Amino acid sequence: MRSLLVALLLLFASSAYAEDATLSATNTFTAEVRGDNQNGTEGDDDYTAVINRLTLKGVTGALSAGLRVDAFGFSPSPTPDFEDDVILERFELRFRQKPWTLVGGDFYQQLGRGIALSMRKEDQATIDTTLQGGLVELKTREHHAAVFGGRANPANLDEISQHFIEDTNDVMAGGLYDFTQLEAFDTGVYGVFITPTEKLLGERTKQHTEGIYVDLNGLTKHAALYLEVDLQHRELLGQSCSFFEEDCSGKAAYAALDLSFGDFSVLAEGITLEAFEQRGSRNTALNRSFEYNQPPTLERIDQEVSPMRDVQGARLKAEVTFLEQDLLFTVDGVYKEIEPDSPARVVLMHGFGGGEYSFQEGRSRLSASSGYRQEATDKATVKTMVHGEADYLQWLWSKLSLHLSARHESRTLEDDPFVRGSALLGVEWTGLGSLTFEFGYDTQNPSADVANEFYAGIATLELMDNLSARLVGGTQRGGLRCIAGVCRDYPAFSGVSGTLVARY
């Protein structure tokens, strides 16, 4: 509460007394009435939810301040996991005097390609954990250095399950130094130290990770290369072990090579993670540890990705364009071994390809892709998937366009076949909004009390430049969805949901 008062005082004092001060706000208000989603589980049906998120920013010269207040309530609360609260979720004071930046409060921090640390906001995957503490940063054309420290501060409302997440207060501190030479050669070193608050027997009590990277982003006109190596040491409660013992150490390496020759380009990536993890205390909404890193997955953003702890893999992607970049063809292949040295080793292969055509001066487009994915142990095939996707946007005239999108997956899970997919048909009117009909299906669970078909209507409205609304009514399929390497089990939706977004 003290931090709230300090932040508010500075924010509004600056607005009141400084001539050049401005205050801006973004507010997102959501109201939902949820019925029985027929997913075969109790505890997520028949309730009303009201969620509001208010972000305020004040700027005066070199000083800025920001805060975010989250308010949420549920009636009736389906389980004790749903809590009503009003929380000062974020606050930030920022002072910038080139080449220095000082931040006190909440900030996001990433090291390298996210293998060592990735504290960031990823709305698509509903990830939002900041570091609440202090940051001192120096940035010039050649040198970039920073030191930071604080506690992990996850957003307390899990937006998928709508369950409450307790703060972990895991402590972190670290730093980085990056040197750029001739704008083509960039190299950096960094380190981070983490102490989870939760102490469990056999689990780590503190861990430190160091890394180095080299980014050759302009050596030639046609090639770019990125290399990164990370080492980690963990101390376990009730055990002592040296740096080289397997239980206490982790290793990681990542490389990406981009080649581009006119209309043809190739991307090659490889990664190896050996007992590498950056786990914190338990996430009370998910009943598993927070993960403070997000390594490259080598996968398409929507794929079901296995935990990135013990993985070896590679990916090759090629693209070629025609008709002055209006026509694109892509092929992509991924090979990964999960827990490669374990009897439970899983081999993953995924190959897919497709094309995209833009026409009517880029106002219309047609894209389609398909592929095959398989995960198998030494003894059996665990999962297979044949998938196809299509997206067609046709500009009709003036401000009106038609949008058709469909995807289908024929899957097997331990030899049990099922299909899953969705189709959306919508009309969009620029400056006014859109109206979309969604049909979804999922036959994985054939139980009579579980829905297999889903129908929903979605309307978006641009009421004013600074006020927009989104309404959803009907049913939408849930299940495991993965975005950016983060997989979550979404509850199916049944009911009505309305969101208003205001900016001022």
State residue 454 phi and psi, 5-degree precision: -135, 140
Amino acid at 191: G
- By CB under 8 A, the residues from 113 to 172 that bind another protein are 113-115, 118-123, 139-141
Q: How far apart are CA 446 and CA 430, in angstroms?
A: 41
**Stretch binding another protein (CB under 8 A), from 2-10, 290-298, 340-348, 447-455:** 290-298
In 3-state terms, what secondary structure has residue 17? helix
**Stretch binding another protein (CB under 8 A), from 4-12, 90-98, 274-282, 339-347:** 90-98
203 binds another protein (CB under 8 A): no
CB 205, min distance to another protein, A:
27
The smaller minimum CB distance to another protein, of residues 155 and 231, is found at 155
State the maximum Cα–Cα separation within the chain, in Å, rounded to a whole number: 72
CB 449, min distance to another protein, A:
34
84 binds another protein (CB under 8 A): yes
Q: Residues 419, 409: contact at Cβ < 8 Å?
A: yes
CA 93 to chain centre: 25
DSSP 317-370: EEEEEETTTTEEEEEEEEEEEESTTSTT-EEEEEEEEEEEEEETTTTEEEEEEE
16 binds another protein (CB under 8 A): no
Q: How far apart are CA 399 and CA 391, in angstroms?
A: 19
The structure tokens 């219309």 sit at 364
**Stretch binding another protein (CB under 8 A), from 110-118, 235-243, 334-342, 448-456:** 110-118
- Residue from 208, 365, 383, 408 touching another protein (CB under 8 A): that is 365
414: left (phi over 0), alpha (psi -120 to 50) or beta: left
35 binds another protein (CB under 8 A): no
State residue 10 phi and psi, 5-degree precision: -65, -40
Amino acid at 251: K
- By CB under 8 A, the residues from 204 to 233 that bind another protein are 215, 217-218, 224, 226
247 binds another protein (CB under 8 A): no
73 binds another protein (CB under 8 A): yes
Amino acid at 365: R
Joined tokens for residue 86: 């009003």
The smaller minimum CB distance to another protein, of residues 170 and 332, is found at 332
- Residue from 102, 229, 267, 347 touching another protein (CB under 8 A): that is 267
17 binds another protein (CB under 8 A): no
Q: How far apart are CA 56 and CA 23, in angstroms?
A: 7
**Stretch binding another protein (CB under 8 A), from 49-57, 164-172, 193-201, 275-283:** 49-57
CB 113, min distance to another protein, A:
4
Q: How far apart are CA 211 and CA 225, in angstroms?
A: 17
Q: Residues 301, 484: contact at Cβ < 8 Å?
A: yes
Beta bridge partners of 269: 256, 315
- Residue from 12, 13, 29, 461 touching another protein (CB under 8 A): that is 29
The smaller minimum CB distance to another protein, of residues 35 and 99, is found at 99
- Residue from 30, 48, 180, 205 touching another protein (CB under 8 A): that is 180
State residue 14 phi and psi, 5-degree precision: -65, -40
**Could you check whether the bond before residue 78 is cis, i.e. omega within 30 degrees of 0?**
no
The structure tokens 């009736």 sit at 76
Task: Name every residue whose Cβ is closer than 8 Å to that of residue 174 and which is 6 or more positions away in sequence.
Answer: 109, 111, 117, 147, 148, 149, 190, 191, 192, 193
385 binds another protein (CB under 8 A): no
CB 345, min distance to another protein, A:
23
- Residue from 108, 322, 372, 455 touching another protein (CB under 8 A): that is 108
Residues binding another protein: what is the number (CB under 8 A)? 107
CB 106, min distance to another protein, A:
9
The smaller minimum CB distance to another protein, of residues 50 and 450, is found at 50
468 binds another protein (CB under 8 A): yes
The smaller minimum CB distance to another protein, of residues 215 and 438, is found at 215
- Residue from 6, 391, 410, 481 touching another protein (CB under 8 A): that is 391
- By CB under 8 A, the residues from 417 to 436 that bind another protein are 428-431, 434
H or E element: which one contains 440?
strand 433-442
The smaller minimum CB distance to another protein, of residues 179 and 243, is found at 179
- Residue from 210, 319, 337, 409 touching another protein (CB under 8 A): that is 319
CB 380, min distance to another protein, A:
29
Q: How far apart are CA 490 and CA 470, in angstroms?
A: 20
**Stretch binding another protein (CB under 8 A), from 83-91, 229-237, 274-282, 372-380:** 83-91
CB 240, min distance to another protein, A:
33
- Residue from 313, 478, 485, 491 touching another protein (CB under 8 A): that is 485
Q: Residues 361, 326: contact at Cβ < 8 Å?
A: no
